[in-house]
Amino acid sequence: MTNLSGTNLNNGTAVGPQGEGRDSPSTFPTYPAYKDSGVEWLGEVPEHWNISPLKFSASCNDTVLPDSTDDDYEIEYVEISDVNEISGITGSTSYKFSDAPSRARRMLQDGDVLISTVRTYLRAIAPVVTPPENLIASTGFAVVRPRKGILDGAFLGYLLRAEWWISEVIARSVGVSYPAINASDLIGLNVPVPAWQEQTQIARFLDHETARIDALIEEQQRLIELLKEKRQAVISHAVTKGLDPTVPMKDSGVEWLGEVPAHWDVLPVWMLFQMGRGRVISHDEIAENSGDYPVYSSQTERDGVMGSIDTYDFEGDYLTWTTDGANAGTVFRRSGKFNCTNVCGTLLPKRKDDDLRYFVDAVGICTAAFIRHDINPKLMNNVMASIKVPVPPLMEQTAIAAYVSAFKDKETVLIQEAFNGISLLQERRSALISAAVTGKIDVRGWQPPTSTQAPKLEVAEAN
């Protein structure tokens, strides 16, 4: 089980992440007196804080790259997909000015905050920290720049990532499929403005505390990767080496497969399965039908289901695989009546005594290994047919399938716990930012702990 400590907002009190060098979680007091901000979504703020439209303390879209820029001038272009509220600016694309998109115009400087004014539900908001001179953002962003002596850039970066601000920007956006907000409306929203010294102290506090939470999130992400790697290794060993470590082995004759149990066969896919292909199924065809038979494509969040239509191409107990693209070689088991697009192939068992639960993993492991060793990873039928797969007796197929299924179930629970831990930490991070920038907690007397050790994360090992 994952052991997590984080922000806990209750009756105006927040508890920070617990780590080395602390005898107990740090508790932050509230301010001695509050006032109604006059802004419904903001609520009460410290009595001495000012509330005013953002445009009084920050400007917007001040500088743009002129059309007269030299064609050979190289820029680093930031678009909406390069930005998110947690990680900030995650990347950029290099262009010569002459080749850059026409949207590449917003010039950036240290202390700016990027806020996407289109598709605002993506929450593409990020502070700009020590950017290179040639960092240019899309005109799909509003570039908010703090006015000197009024707003601190670091504080502004946290202020505009507070949940109440993001929710209000989304709520005021217009449009269904492509919601957007005008930059003038955005900077017309009211924000709290504490004294300069408080701003810098709040930013200093949040720099430290969010870094600690981010360290825990990174640890959870590493855990997920390790669990996935272990799952793949255990499944691979089970379907290629069996469950008995004492059994005699033989060379499989396949370089990437290595040795297999001496009494197993190693057969090409075409000897085990009747092969088929899907067909082109357009989104229009799906939209025009309302049938009950699923349409499978490449792997997606919905396990490849694009929709359903009232005809079907396949019926029975099949394996399907993705022929090319990022998910090439991904293997699924499909049962019943279904459709399959042209980026999928189908495998119908030729032998009645085989256990498909074993082969969904065995074929998947072998196609993955083939792709790793091939320079052109397209698994069309003629290529798939030649891939060799280890084939144990039926009794061992069934035993391996049961072992792998139980292992997957256990690993899935651990991975989901880690994902839940990340979600909880992100919620606590967001709550801490909102609490600090709206004065729900008073951090004026806060000082960083003397210890520089990272917080501990305890996880249970998967046996």
Tokens of 40: 């419904």
CA 277, chain centre distance (Å)? 32
Percent of the chain scoring above 70 in pLDDT: 90
pLDDT at position 302: 63
* Cβ–Cβ < 8 Å for 312, 293: yes
Report how far residue 181's alpha carbon sits from residue 184's, in angstroms, rounded to the nearest whole number: 8
pLDDT at position 292: 87
pLDDT at position 311: 85
pLDDT at position 264: 97
pLDDT at position 270: 97
- Give the SS3 label for residue 354: coil
Task: Tell me what the mean pLDDT of segment 238-266 comes to.
Answer: 95
Task: Tell me what the mean pLDDT of segment 356-377 comes to.
Answer: 86
pLDDT at position 307: 86
Confidence band (pLDDT; 50, 70, 90) for 11?
Answer: very low
- The per-residue pLDDT for range 304-323, each reduced to its tens digit, is 788 889 889 999 999 999 98
Which of the 8 DSSP states describes residue 120?
Answer: G
Q: Which residue would you say has higher pLDDT here, 183 or 328?
A: 183
pLDDT at position 190: 95
Pairing between strand 305-309 and 293-296?
A: antiparallel
DSSP class per residue in 177-196: SS-B--HHHHTTSEEEE--H
pLDDT at position 376: 60
Smallest CA-to-CA distance from 65 within 4, 15, 109 is with 109
For the ranges 18-32, 144-158, 282-296, 426-440, which has the lowest average pLDDT? 18-32
Confidence band (pLDDT; 50, 70, 90) for 375?
Answer: low
Confidence band (pLDDT; 50, 70, 90) for 403?
Answer: very high
CB neighbour burial string for 266-284, b if at least 16 within 10 angstroms, e if fewer: beebbebbebbebeebeee
CB neighbour burial string for 60-71, b if at least 16 within 10 angstroms, e if fewer: bbeeebeeeeee
Does residue 105 surpass a pLDDT of 70? yes
For the ranges 79-93, 224-238, 301-315, which has the lowest average pLDDT? 301-315
Does residue 8 surpass a pLDDT of 50? no
Report how far residue 67's alpha carbon sits from residue 178's, in angstroms, rounded to the nearest whole number: 28
Kindly report each contact of residues 201-205 with a partner whose C-beta sits within 8 Å and lies 24 or more positions away, as own/partner.
201/443, 201/444, 201/446, 202/155, 202/158, 202/436, 202/437, 202/443, 203/152, 203/154, 203/155, 203/157, 203/158, 204/154, 204/448, 205/436, 205/443, 205/446
Does residue 25 surpass a pLDDT of 60? no
The alpha-helical segments, DSSP class H, found in 313-451 are: 356-372, 381-386, 394-437
Does residue 456 surpass a pLDDT of 60? no
Residue 339 to residues 276, 324, 346, 363, 378, Cα–Cα distance (Å): 12, 18, 10, 21, 21
Does residue 20 surpass a pLDDT of 60? no
Burial of 190 per CB tally in 10 Å (0-12, 13-18, 19+): middle
Task: Tell me what the mean pLDDT of segment 17-28 comes to.
Answer: 42
Other Cβ atoms within 10 Å of 298 Cβ, number: 17
* Cβ–Cβ < 8 Å for 370, 326: no
Report how far residue 235's alpha carbon sits from residue 278's, in angstroms, rounded to the nearest whole number: 28
CA 412, chain centre distance (Å)? 17
Smallest CA-to-CA distance from 272 within 387, 396, 399 is with 387
Confidence band (pLDDT; 50, 70, 90) for 136?
Answer: very high
Report how far residue 111's alpha carbon sits from residue 151's, in angstroms, rounded to the nearest whole number: 10
Task: Tell me what the mean pLDDT of segment 105-111 comes to.
Answer: 96
Tokens of 262: 């001496």
Task: Tell me what the mean pLDDT of segment 338-358 comes to.
Answer: 93
Task: Tell me what the mean pLDDT of segment 328-354 comes to.
Answer: 92
Other Cβ atoms within 10 Å of 22 Cβ, number: 14
Tokens of 433: 């930012």
Q: Could you give the domains of the chain? A: 1-49+196-242+399-463 (no CATH), 52-193 (3.90.220.20), 244-391 (3.90.220.20)
pLDDT at position 370: 86
Task: Tell me what the mean pLDDT of segment 448-455 comes to.
Answer: 63
Confidence band (pLDDT; 50, 70, 90) for 253?
Answer: very high
Q: Which residue would you say has higher pLDDT here, 267 or 456?
A: 267
Does residue 31 surpass a pLDDT of 80? yes
